[in-house]
Amino acid sequence: MRILERISSFAGNTFAIWVILFAVFAFIIPEGFTWIAPHISLLLGIIMFGMGLTLSLDDFKGIVKAPKSVLIGVLAQYTIMPLLAFGLATVFQLPAEVAIGVILVGCCPGGTASNVMTFLAKGNTALSVTVTAFSTILAPILTPALTLLFASKWLPVSAGDMFLTIVQVVLVPIVLGIVVRVLFKKQVEKSTGVLPLVSVIGIVAVASAVVAVNKDAIATTGLLIFSVVMLHNVLGLLIGYLLAKVIRLDFRDQKAISIEVGMQNSGLGATLALAHFAPIAAVPSALFSVWHNISGPLLATWWGKRSER
- Say which CATH topology domain 40-302 has: Na+/H+ antiporter like fold (1.20.1530)
The model carries a pTM of: 0.83
Domains of the chain, by residue range, sit at: 40-302
What 3-state class would DSSP assign to 12?
helix
Per-residue confidence in pLDDT tens, the chain, 309 aa: 567 667 776 766 667 777 788 888 888 888 888 888 788 778 878 877 877 777 766 666 666 666 888 899 999 999 999 999 999 999 999 988 899 999 999 999 887 777 777 877 878 878 888 888 888 889 889 999 999 999 888 888 888 888 888 888 888 888 888 888 878 777 777 776 676 777 778 878 877 887 887 787 777 777 888 899 999 999 999 999 999 999 988 888 899 899 889 888 888 888 888 888 888 888 888 888 778 777 877 887 788 776 655
Alpha-helical runs (H) found in 66-124: 67-77, 80-91, 96-107, 113-120
CA within 13 Å, CB half, 265 = 29
Sign of CA pseudo-dihedral 172, 173, 175, 179: positive
Query: Of 100, 109, 102, 103, nearest to 78 (Cα)?
Result: 109
Report how far residue 238's alpha carbon sits from residue 257's, in angstroms, rounded to the nearest whole number.
Answer: 10
